[in-house]
């Protein structure tokens, strides 16, 4: 018999490492704009022998998603749950997508009762909250002997959630990654393992802090150049091949007519809401204070988003609307 080649053994080792245990029962809690689309993608990409139990306090969203899932046919069986506990009691994997730290704490407190059957569950929290709250919830899951809690905040917005192209920033033990990746990749396109539990949130908040500042700076620079008489497209073209290039200048430019797909061309409708950016900036500030990290520009930036968010012409719009708040020409 011919001995196995080095290449053959490499392929076998690689295949073994990437094989995850099959998980049949899923719970999905939190059907907001992001969660609704994520749950829909998850269910559609599972097999008919699998089950997804869904819950949200918004009964209209709950029933609407059930109708959409069943109308599409195929995918996992769908079950409406009466509570987060009810959704989780038989689940191997529980996914939560919730608005604020207090919501995450409240939902997990309701799940981790003495009535919950003991099981080696994986709890995947895709909410954007502060790392310290996430670590506290992880400790409560561990203390209850109910499995493991990981953080997997995402990037890509509602468009990415709908298209299944989200990027997840994962905070989990390396040994869990092969088990977690197949689940996340049913809802997204990329999983970036950032380190142990809490690391995903730290990476997400650091990124969004930089995004918050870049957005304001881009709005100010565009406003400055236009007031000097520069054509907006010409100015953006210079910035985007120079050292000022950033996502707000190139993809989400705050001036209408510069980037066709940007919210600025739709009266700043859609996109990443200014209230959400203010929330993420606040969370980054809390995390920075706990870590002893100086952020000199955080408070001025927070004030800009807070003041802009109170103006009727900016409320409920994409965070690039700060250009309008600054008096930019439209």
- Tell me the C-alpha distance between 198 and 129, whole Å: 10
Number of Cβ within a 10 Å radius of residue 253: 29
Strands 166-171 and 154-155: antiparallel
Q: Note if 118 is an active site residue.
A: no
C-alpha 200: how far from its chain's center? 10
- Tell me the C-alpha distance between 19 and 298, whole Å: 43
Q: Are 65 and 131 in contact (CB under 8 A)?
A: no
204, 227, 278, 307: the active-site residue: 204
Q: Are 257 and 226 in contact (CB under 8 A)?
A: no
CB-facing half-sphere around the CA of 287: CA atoms within 13 A: 27
The 3-state DSSP class for residue 254 equals coil
Question: Which residues are paired to 150 by β-bridges?
Answer: 124
Nearest to 98 by CA among 59, 151, 176, 45: 151
Indicate which residues carry an active-site annotation.
204
């Amino acid at each position: 018999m011919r001995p196995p080649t080095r290449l053959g053994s490499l392929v076998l080792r690689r295949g073994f490492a990437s094989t995850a245990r099959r998980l049949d029962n899923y719970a999905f809690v939190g059907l907001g704009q992001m969660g609704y689309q994520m749950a829909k993608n998850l269910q559609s990409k599972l097999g008919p022998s699998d089950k997804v139990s869904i819950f949200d306090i918004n009964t209209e969203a709950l029933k609407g998603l059930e109708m959409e899932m069943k109308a599409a046919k195929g995918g996992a069986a769908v079950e409406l749950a009466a509570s987060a506990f009810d959704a989780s009691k038989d689940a191997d994997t529980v996914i939560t997508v919730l608005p604020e730290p207090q919501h995450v704490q409240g939902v997990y407190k309701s799940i981790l009762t003495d009535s919950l059957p003991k099981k080696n569950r994986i709890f995947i929290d895709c909410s954007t909250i502060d790392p310290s709250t996430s670590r506290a919830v992880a400790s409560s899951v561990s203390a209850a002997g109910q499995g493991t809690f990981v953080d997997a905040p995402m990037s890509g917005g509602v468009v990415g959630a709908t298209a299944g192209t989200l990027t997840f920033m994962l905070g989990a033990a390396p040994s869990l990654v092969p088990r977690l990746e197949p689940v996340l990749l049913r809802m997204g396109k990329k999983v970036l393992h950032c380190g142990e539990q809490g690391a995903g949130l730290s990476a997400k908040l650091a990124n969004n802090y930089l995004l918050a500042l870049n957005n304001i700076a881009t709005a100010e620079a565009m406003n400055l150049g236009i007031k000097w008489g520069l054509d907006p497209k010409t100015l953006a073209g210079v910035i985007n091949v120079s050292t000022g290039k950033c996502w707000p200048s190139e993809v989400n430019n705050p001036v209408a007519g510069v980037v066709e797909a940007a919210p600025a061309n739709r009266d700043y409708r859609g996109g990443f809401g200014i209230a959400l950016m203010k929330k993420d900036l606040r969370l980054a500030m809390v995390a920075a204070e706990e870590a002893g990290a100086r952020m000199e520009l955080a408070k001025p930036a927070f004030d800009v988003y807070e003041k802009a968010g109170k103006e009727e012409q900016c409320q409920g719009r994409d965070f690039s609307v700060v250009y309008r708040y600054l008096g930019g020409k439209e």
